[in-house]
Amino acid sequence: MKDIQEIVVISGKGGTGKTSVSAALAVIGGSELILADCDVDAPDLHLVVSPVEREREVFYAGELAQIDAKKCIGCGKCQTACSFLAIDKLGEREYTIDPFRCEGCGYCARICPSEAITNLPRLTGEVLISQIKTKTTMVHAHLDVGGENSGKLVAELKNRAKKIAKESNKKIVLVDGSPGIGCPVVSSLSGASLVLLVVEPTVSGFHDLKRVLELVNKFSIQSVAIINKYDLNENITNQIKEYLGQFQVEVVGYLPYDKAFYDAVMQGKSVVESHEGYRDKFAKIYKKIKEIQEKK
């Protein structure tokens, strides 16, 4: 068993209840774990765990080109070289960088004959470290508007969380991941010890599960699943259960379609705090996950 267990909660499809599940498990785990909100595009955990900010640090990743108008001779070579259509011509001798399109490859700066282009570190967002109501620490972030490099921000958050876990002698880092299968998800999977898939029994939820599980399996990471709103479509719930079985993915919990989850969020709480009945349910799920971890 590795020193620090990193449990990553992902879903493929968005809105399946990933954050509600993460919040509930965070409350059950309490001070035994460090929490990391790595859904940097749409971070929501802070809305239900009452964070008190302790540290805030700007985070730079990658680069952004900048043209010095005084040095520019208007040759247009930069515009021709740019693969991202990030350089616009404003006037006869005036070119400008579109920061939303620039990927920071630096090619333009290398070929500019008048050395008018420099690459500056790119502001990606802010890393936040907060004390939360479960008497532990949460690492989270603000991604800058239209932020690039969200994968690097995710990697940074996970490193911070692991470091804090090590320093404070905690064994578990619980990561709320991003939807989809792209760079932030890949980044959240690297180094994970267990993946918790939150799945909903809908045609689209099942479709997306297959894709995200294929990705997880490429990383050879063990995964378990929670089927949320299992009673919405029991037919698909059964299909999902059977499908997961083929990949040795154990279903560690079933949650019903229940307004309690909506009510909890409206109160700024996790469902285990607002509805006592769920405390037991999530305690069992948490215990099961820990047992699976310890067996490894």
Partner 1 sequence: MQKSSEKSFPKQKEFRVAIASGKGGTGKTTLAVNLSRWIAQKCKVRLADLDVEEPNSGLFLALPLVQRRPVKRAIPAWDQELCLFCGNCQKVCNFNAIIQTKSLVMTFPQLCHSCKACWELCPAKALHPQEYRVGEISFFQDENMEFIEGRLDVGQEQAVPVIAEVLDYLDENILLSGLTIIDSPPGTACPAVETFSRADLVLLVVEPTPFGLYDASLAVAVAKALGKPLAVVVNKWVADDQLLADFVQQNQVEIIAKIGESKKIAEDYSKGNLIYEDNPEVQENLRSIYDYLVAGMGAKL
Instruction: Give residue for tokens 């090590």.
Output: 166
Which of 55, 214, 250, 291 is in the footprint of partner 1 by CB under 8 A?
214
Using CA atoms, how far apart are residues 75 and 92, in angstroms rounded to an integer? 9
Residues 15-34 that bind partner 1 (CB under 8 A): 15-16, 19
Beta partners for 37? 176
Q: Residue 178: which of 19, 45, 38 has the closest Cα?
A: 38
Q: Estimate to the nearest angstrom the gap between the alpha carbon of 38 and the chain centroid.
A: 3
The region, left, alpha or beta by phi > 0 then psi within -120 to 50, assigned to residue 82 is beta
99 binds partner 1 (CB under 8 A): yes
Residue of 8, 143, 155, 157 that binds partner 1 (CB under 8 A) = 143
Q: Is 89 in the site for partner 1 (CB under 8 A)?
A: no
- Residue 191 near partner 1 by CB under 8 A: no
Cα–Cα dist 156/153, whole Å: 5
3-state secondary structure of 206: helix
Listed ranges 129-137, 141-149, 165-173, 279-287: which one lies at the site for partner 1 (CB under 8 A): 141-149
Minimum distance from CB of 210 to partner 1 (Å)? 9
Backbone angles phi, psi at 94, to 5 degrees: -135, 115
With CB under 8 A as the contact rule, the residue among 60, 74, 103, 292 that binds partner 1 is: 103
249 is an interface residue for partner 1 by CB under 8 A? no
Residue 148 lies near partner 1 (rule: CB under 8 A): yes
Measure CA of the first residue to CA of the last residue in the chain; give whole Å.
6
Q: Which segment (68-76, 163-171, 201-209, 247-255) binds partner 1 by CB under 8 A?
A: 201-209
Strand partners, 138: 35, 130
- Using CB under 8 A, which of the segments 24-32, 96-104, 159-167, 284-292 binds partner 1? 96-104
CB of 288 to partner 1, least distance (A): 25
Binding residue (CB under 8 A) for partner 1 from 8, 13, 132, 156: 13
CA–CA separation, 166 and 155 (whole Å): 17
Residue 123 CB, shortest distance to partner 1, in Å, is: 14
What token pair was written down for 204?
A: 């689209």
Residues 122/157, Cβ–Cβ less than 8 Å: no
State in angstroms the smallest separation of the CB of 126 from partner 1.
Answer: 14
DSSP H/E element including 96: strand 94-97
- List residues binding partner 1 (CB under 8 A): 11-16, 19, 40-42, 44, 47-48, 62-63, 81, 83-84, 88, 98-100, 103-107, 110-111, 119, 143, 145-148, 150-151, 178-186, 200-205, 207-208, 211-212, 214-215, 218, 229, 232-233, 236, 257, 262, 265-266, 268
